[in-house]
Amino acid sequence: RLRQTLAPGGSRVEVLNRVRAELGRRTEDDELAALISSMLAPDPAERPEAAAVADALSELLNVRTCVLCHCPAPRDSGLECGATEGHFACDDCFSLHIERFEALCGEGGPSVKCCASFMGCEARFTFQDVARHAAPSAFAKLQDNIEDQRDVSVEHKFEQWKAEFVAKSEMERRALTTRQQIEQMMELRCPKCRHVFDAFDGC
């Protein structure tokens, strides 16, 4: 988290300044004035809950709170998943997220898990979405992870095929042994030399 907050170039400071500037620009907004008025209501029961205030401000200022660093960021400076909750991650945190091998999801073709997958979210991002928001170095790391995932998948399939081959060979060996035993049971043999009778007048 500290490394994210102290990102090179002061990106966090720039984001906060953008949010403050937007808030200052909207001071005359009727909706914002109504929200502030409701927050200052004399009766505490009439005041909106903190979650409702956060949601309202997010809509008014077009900002979202990052699910990882919990900092506000303009909506166009991050990526929001398609789940009902709409988990948002700023570009900095999203770049760190996709560098992890665990962020990859191979079912139905390679894709990237939502940053809130640790909370049970099953939303996925396409690589087109990822390319628009991730840092170039993070996207390169993601591509390396995809290659590693393919290698692991090929190795797993080979081991599975080898196990099936061994199991099949064992079944065939047992079937051959059983067939030979049945053939021996059906052949008439001399009780002394165990040779098969060629005729029934001697061995």
Segment holding 169, helix H or strand E: helix 136-186
Separation in Å, CA 65 to CA 17, 61, 126, 153: 15, 12, 22, 36
3 pLDDT tier (thresholds 50, 70, 90): very low
Average pLDDT over residues 29-49: 75
Structural tokens at position 16: 């906060």
Residues in Cβ contact with 70 at an 8 Å cutoff, skipping those fewer than 6 apart? none
Q: Please, how many CA atoms are within 13 Å of residue 59, restricted to the half-sphere of its CB? A: 9
pLDDT averaged over the chain? 76
Phi-psi region of 70 (alpha: psi -120 to 50; beta: other; left: phi over 0): left
Does this model's pTM top 0.85? My answer is: no
Separation in Å, CA 149 to CA 101, 103, 154: 8, 11, 9
Q: What is the Cα–Cα distance from 23 to 69, expressed in whole angstroms?
A: 21
Give the model confidence (pLDDT) of 79-109 as tens digits: 999 888 889 999 999 999 999 888 887 655 5
Give the model confidence (pLDDT) of 109-159 as tens digits: 578 999 999 889 999 998 888 888 889 999 999 888 888 777 776 677 777
Give one DSSP letter per residue of 30-92, joined into a string.
HHHHHHHHHHT-SSGGGSPPHHHHHHHHHHHHTEEE-TTT--EEEGGGEEE-SSTT--EEEHH
Residues in Cβ contact with 93 at an 8 Å cutoff, skipping those fewer than 6 apart? 4, 66, 67, 68, 69, 78, 115
Average pLDDT over residues 66-91: 88
Q: Which residue has the higher pLDDT, 168 or 74?
A: 74
